[in-house]
Structure 1
């Protein structure tokens, strides 16, 4: 019988289809951090709370679209920093490169998070 450990690897890789304006999406390999179910729930709770706070502040403080967008970009960059440890872009994996990714590739943050979430879905069993 094969020996299999219950513990998950601390990181895993997945391809992310990064949308490009006016061009075909590009497949980029990302290295992701593994979180157990409890830590993952805490992480998502924090992101949901931050998004709700941004929306509320936008209303109550009368943010401009530019101000709201700046906060969204900060949140998206933080999300990518938390769940990733690297990528296969030609650009080095740095805070500045992450900020450039979220500000220049509109669909990239969601694509990265979708690929991350997809990795957690149970594998489909045969027919």
Structure 2
């Protein structure tokens, strides 16, 4: 009997090494939303366009406004892929914003882990 299914689970869990200020990175389990290749391409294309628009604005706005716009973009990116997390605080948009505002490397760590999960699936782990 076949054990493999073509239908993927709607979510999957992956550990993310979240940086901490003045300390060692912490291993945190995140639950991510599964997306097929077409959905991923659409999502990444949208993010690329938003990054380009933000880059073009960087000369027009001051550092404070640029940082606020970047935080907004990163929160939206994480909302698009994260379903939940193993963190003391509840998974909410407000707490996502706290994560993004408090540690500048956190969004990259989470987005990188998400991307790596799909890369490992392509490579067969």
Please state which band the TM-score falls in when normalised by the shorter chain: over 0.9
Instruction: Give a deviation string over 1:71-99, Cα, whole Å, max 9, x none.
Output: 10000000100101000010000010000
**Cα deviation, residue 4, structure 1:** 1.8
Number of the residue aligned with 2:34: 34
Number of the residue aligned with 2:16: 16
Whether 2:97 is the aligned partner of 1:99: answer yes
**Cα deviation, residue 57, structure 1:** 1.9
SS in 2 for 1:17: strand
Structure 1 consecutive aligned stretches of length 4 or more whose deviation exceeds 4 Å: none
The counterpart of 1:87, out of the listed 85, 104, 110, is: 85
TM-score (norm 1): 0.92
TM-score (norm 2): 0.94
Instruction: Give a deviation string over 1:3-31, Cα, whole Å, max 9, x none.
Output: 32111111000000000011000010000
Number of the residue aligned with 1:78: 76
Measured on the aligned residues, the alpha-carbon RMSD in Å equals 1.2
CA distance in 1, matches of 2:57, 2:104: 22
The structure that has the greater radius of gyration is: 1
Number of the residue aligned with 1:53: 53
Q: Structure 1, unaligned stretches of length 5 or more?
A: none
